[in-house]
Structure 1
Amino acid sequence: MRRLIAALPMLLALFACSGFIPHSDSHGTVGPTLRVATYNTSLYSDEDGGLIRELEGDSAHARKIAAVLQKVQPDLVLLNEFDYDDAHRAADLFQQRYLEVAQPGGGKPLHYRYRYLAPVNTGVPSGLDLDNNGSAGGEGRTRGNDAWGYGLHPGQYGMLVLSRHPIDAAQARTFQLLRWSTFPGARNPVDPASRRDFYSDVAWPQLRLSSKSHWDVPVRTPQGVVHFLVAHPTPPVFDGPEDRNGLRNADEIRLWREYLSPGDKPWLCDDQGRCGGLPSEARFVIAGDLNNDPVDGDGHHEAIIELLEHPRVMRMATPRSEGGEETALAYAAKGLQRRGSPAHVTGDFGPRNGAMRLDYVLPSTGFGLTGSGVFWPKKDHPDAAIADGSDHHLVWVDITL
């Protein structure tokens, strides 16, 4: 028995790397465990209602995303880049036509009884000139520059939480409207050429911090209430020398640090008017495509490092995959060198950017960790046929009391 216990971490790592991910829910013989995941699905459209039309047809893209979810079988999962189209219509279609139908290469059909979704800032017109081009709005793809968060229609790149366990929607907190300028230490980006603030005196006091939204979604699990803290900060690119997206990304990540840290925070008020952070006794899991690698790529790396090292965040081995390692090493062989561990990457962003770690599932202290991984099989593995539905890969963590 002692040898079996000692070998268990190695066996779990082998299962994760191979693509086979054993899991027993709270009714199984191994549990109780809670499998929590995040997955940037790329299920978005540049046209309002476009995702609904795609899901009403036969979407090979959605079938691959559903197959991965069926394979991994998370109990609680955040889907990033899932358009907020017609409120629940897109979520209904994805559930009924894809998740609840056995997909090629996937597992058994998957039903989530509970979900949470809400409006996001992407694509919502601000009425302000946020890109400093002299006018508010715009035509074509530039019209998204003056939205509260970049998007071509309201709800593009939205978020969706799916859960096997009840969600306390009445106690959920959203921070869609929180203004960036009220955030302690927030800096109006400065144009280095003119040495002037990038955002005008009219725009800066009104600009929202969250490019999509930040949600605290309480989930009533068999292990007690778990606060699912989810977000999708803006990529720290697509800006200029003023670094407005880099600074915003850092502060969007820093919002969770402030939310977890003690102290009176009268400025930290949610969209319902409730102020303050998360109580010290509350357990949580932070999840999302945070668009910040600890050492590589663009962005202010200290933002994600300080979140990883927060006293309330569990110290844990980084989720890994053989497919990510294979991809990162292939880029290195072509001259695209990275400092981070190749096995820790969560997405392939092409020959210019390579592979990086941008997606995170971070449990709080007070949980035990029984497994983790990134669903990214090697190219010669049978599961590789369903793993290319997005440039990001699903990250999962198994936790228990």
Structure 2
Amino acid sequence: MLRDIQRGTPQVQAITQVVDHIAPDILFLQGVDYDADLLGLTALRDHFATQGIIYPHLFALPPNTGLPTDVDLNGDGIRHRAADAQGYGKFRGAGGMALLSKWPITLQRDFTTLLWKEMPDAQLPSLNGAPFPSQEAQDIQRLSSTGHWVVTVTAPDGPISLLLFAAGPPVFDGPEDRNGLRNADEIRLWAQFLDGKLGPLPDTPLVLLGGANLDPTYGEGRHAAIHALLTHPRLQDPLATAGPTVDWRDPTPGDLRVDYLLPSRDITVSKAGVFWPKPPAPLSERLSVNGTIASRHHIVWADIQF
């Protein structure tokens, strides 16, 4: 990733143009490889700066993606493969999360190391009455596919807390529905947090941001989990009618809403949307599956006051 950023590959150029067009004060990205010195993220930040988008503050933590274990975590009888990492990944740090901000960032809570079985009311997979894939696996399996963070950004008008995550897909498993159950619990973690089951809540306005990998209606997965979050009494959904956020036309299931931005109800949202211009609108070619693509996922954004 660092090499591609430094070379300014077409995808990097496309991402930069999209970010330049939206020009967010706070930008949360998923699928950004993590390295301990944040060299990749710093290079990406510097690439944005060439277009005048300046982010003095960067934040990333080691994700669960690619974190090796010595256990068969997916039940295929083989160990030490990408699916046997705490979160799917061919190398440690693959496809992590990153936050870029014009204002200082402070970590408040990190649930990335929380064991799945230790989450209140965890829905662990079983097959024929036995823990799947094994009790040994469930004893070490973390809940987060990538990570769950609570950070505070100190903006000019005061602090705001961000609940950040990137859940794994609810597919690519078997009749035990391991991935479907895990995806649902990754989403349910935030509902439990907002209900005070995981400790005190921040005394600031907050915004939940992330990729849930789950549409409220279409595609596979346990839709009740995302419905509960979208209708949580502490949150509002300014993008309820904005449409899909990801282009999964090839292969199926098609265009789905899987990326979310949910402010707390004490925040005023003046505008919100999904940046998905259609031809011949400017930058539409940068989002085309058949051309240079920034990402299959499209930026969800909101202008807020608090």
What is the aligned partner in structure 2 of residue 373 from structure 1? 273
Counterpart AA for 1:165: W
What is the aligned partner in structure 2 of residue 360 from structure 1? 260
Could you say what secondary structure the match of 2:152 adopts? Answer: strand
User: Looking at both structures, which has the greater relative contact order when contacts are Cα pairs under 8 Å and sequence separation is at least 6?
Assistant: 1
What is the aligned partner in structure 2 of residue 174 from structure 1? 110
Could you say what secondary structure the match of 1:145 adopts? Answer: helix
Contact 2:110 2:150 in 1 (8 A): yes
Counterpart AA for 2:294: G
Q: Deviations over 1:104-136 (max 9, x none)?
A: xxxxx2110111101000001121111223342
Could you say what secondary structure the match of 2:234 adopts? Answer: coil
Find the aligned partners of 1:145 and 1:200 in 2 and give their Cα distance.
15
* 1:264-283 → structure 2 map (5 Å cutoff): 265=197, 268=198, 276-279=199-202, 281-283=203-205
Could you say what secondary structure the match of 2:114 adopts? Answer: coil
Find the aligned partners of 2:296 and 2:25 in 1 and give their Cα distance.
23
Give the CA deviation at 1:145.
1.1
- Equivalent position to 2:283, from 383, 387, 399: 383
Query: TM (normalized to structure 1)?
Result: 0.72
Counterpart AA for 2:8: D
Give the CA deviation at 1:196.
2.8
Find the aligned partners of 1:306 and 1:296 in 2 and give their Cα distance.
16
What is the aligned partner in structure 2 of residue 229 from structure 1? 163
Contact 2:123 2:182 in 1 (8 A): no
Find the aligned partners of 1:122 and 1:383 in 2 and give their Cα distance.
31
Change (3 A) 1:173 1:131: same
Give the CA deviation at 1:345.
0.4
What is the aligned partner in structure 1 of residue 55 from structure 2? 112
Larger Rg: 1
What is the aligned partner in structure 2 of residue 400 from structure 1? 305
Counterpart AA for 2:74: D
Could you say what secondary structure the match of 1:218 adopts? Answer: strand
Q: Deviations over 1:125-177 (max 9, x none)?
A: 1211112233421xxxxx111100000001111000011111124xx321111
Contact 1:231 1:288 in 2 (8 A): yes
- Equivalent position to 2:37, from 68, 75, 87: 87
Find the aligned partners of 1:163 and 1:92 in 2 and give their Cα distance.
12
What is the aligned partner in structure 2 of residue 300 from structure 1? 222
Mapped pair 1:220 → 2:154: yes
Superposition misfits of 4+ residues, deviation over 4 angstroms: none
Structure 1 unaligned segments of length 5 or more: list them: 1-50, 103-108, 138-142, 269-275, 321-343
Give the CA deviation at 1:277.
3.9
What is the aligned partner in structure 2 of residue 323 from structure 1? none
Counterpart AA for 1:118: L
Contact 2:123 2:185 in 1 (8 A): no
**Equivalent residues, number:** 300
Mapped pair 1:349 → 2:271: no
Contact 2:147 2:165 in 1 (8 A): yes
Greater share of strand: 2
Mapped pair 1:123 → 2:70: no
Query: TM (normalized to structure 2)?
Result: 0.94
Contact 1:168 1:218 in 2 (8 A): yes
What is the aligned partner in structure 2 of residue 189 from structure 1? 125
- Percent identity over paired residues: 39
What is the aligned partner in structure 1 of residue 290 from structure 2? none
Structure 2 unaligned segments of length 5 or more: list them: 288-292
Greater share of helix: 1
What is the aligned partner in structure 2 of residue 27 from structure 1? none
Find the aligned partners of 1:356 and 1:389 in 2 and give their Cα distance.
17
